[in-house]
Amino acid sequence: MTYDVVSLGELLIDLVPLPAPSGALNFAAKPGGAPGNSAVGLAKLGRSVAMLSKVGDDAFGRLLTGTIAGAGASVEAIVISREHLTGVAVVTLDAQGDRDFLFYRQDCADVNYAPDEVRADLIQGARILHVNSLVLASPVSASAQRHAMGIAQAAGILISVDPNLRPLLWESREAMIAAAREVVAAANILKIGEDELQIITGIADTGAALQSLWHEGLRVVAITRGAAGATILTREASATVPGIPVKVVDTTGCGDSFMAAFLTGLLDSGMDLSAENLGSIGRFACAAGAITATAPGGMDAMPTRAELAAFMNGAAS
């Protein structure tokens, strides 16, 4: 089978805090990992998608593969490891619902995802390969991602990138920035936070920062600003759309939901990059990010197309 998108990267369990009148820290296990969240988001929006990663042969690994498959995405290329455990991130939230993370990923399954475990046939048959920069933090998985990107480039497959900077998972800020610049340099489709642009380039002005990263193969970029919305742009056209105010429960997965809707909009339109369509895609993606903030968890909070349409209709009325 061929897929619209093949998503490669980390799969982990987010331990998400639950409200407790006593103030105690109680947690629920929520399947997550940015590339996995986006894969589930794409599947719920009706696109065909396969996940490339590795999980442990444990309860958390089974929760991840079961959730991904339950959303309609393929788990045929997820490797099950008996030697390594599934990674865990403990999520903490402030009063505004913004998150912080404590990661437990040393020698976990997905950092040991190896080049010979990459399904080249799925990448070669896809329309888009989606990656981020976090996989490059570990040498084995970095080799796998570089191998996968090489396969995509040789086959003329579009590469989608979300740098998804996570400073706590890097030995140094310099290594994180170098990895982000590496994946951006290979991107045909890029989603990047305005703050990430400044971190990666060291340039405060958003336009100048993006210009310093733009290269011949880059076709379309989404610059996200959280609740303030996003700008979608090409060399010739751009559209800025506002965010949609919501009561925030948990911002985990909002950017990944935006990413899924961004890719869905591009695929739905046949990569129509006119200014009018960029605006439509931006509104669709911002709505996806907003609705995701109203529910806890990563994959669990990704909206279906029907849910997103109803939310957009309600926001417009």
Q: What is the pLDDT of residue 317?
A: 60
pTM: 0.94
Q: What is the pLDDT of residue 169?
A: 85
Long-range contacts of 307-314 (CB under 8 A, 24+ apart): 308/45, 308/261, 308/284, 311/287, 312/283, 312/284, 312/287
Q: What is the pLDDT of residues 254-296, one digit of tens each?
A: 999 999 999 999 999 999 999 999 999 999 999 999 999 998 7
Domain annotation for the chain: domains and CATH numbers: 5-10+33-54+72-80+119-316 (3.40.1190.20)
Q: What is the pLDDT of residue 96?
A: 64
Q: Name the stretches of the chain with pLDDT < 50.
A: none
Q: What is the pLDDT of residues 120-132, one digit of tens each?
A: 999 999 999 999 9
Q: What is the pLDDT of residue 47?
A: 98
Q: What is the pLDDT of residue 14?
A: 86
**In the chain, pLDDT over 90 holds for what percent of residues?**
81
Rounded Cα distance, 53 and 83, in Å: 15
Q: What is the pLDDT of residue 16?
A: 79
